[in-house]
């Protein structure tokens, strides 16, 4: 499990995410895992988008 997953998801959730996204390409998989892990961080995501987009 990489450091991003270890920081944001518990082991069983991270394993599940890796399993359900295994058919995706690497970039698409990374985006899906990040979106899932950060879905409860709406304020932070909005702030980052406002600052960087």
Tokens read off for 35 = 């979106």
Q: What is the pLDDT of residue 1?
A: 54
Cα–chain center distance at 30: 7
Q: What is the pLDDT of residue 22?
A: 92
pTM for the full predicted model: 0.61
Q: Which of 19, 53, 50, 51 is nearest to 9 (CA)?
A: 19
Q: What is the pLDDT of residue 51?
A: 92
| Total residue count of the chain as it appears in this document | 53
Q: What is the pLDDT of residue 25?
A: 94
User: Could you report the per-residue pLDDT of 1-53, keeping only the tens digit for each?
Assistant: 578 777 878 888 888 888 999 999 999 988 888 888 888 888 888 898 899 98
How many Cα neighbours within 13 Å face the side chain of 14?
Answer: 11
């Amino acid at each position: 499990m990489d450091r991003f997953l270890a920081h944001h998801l518990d082991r069983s959730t991270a394993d599940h995410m890796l399993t359900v996204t295994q058919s995706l390409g690497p970039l698409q998989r990374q985006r899906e895992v990040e979106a899932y892990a950060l879905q409860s961080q709406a304020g932070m995501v909005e702030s980052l988008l406002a600052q960087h987009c």
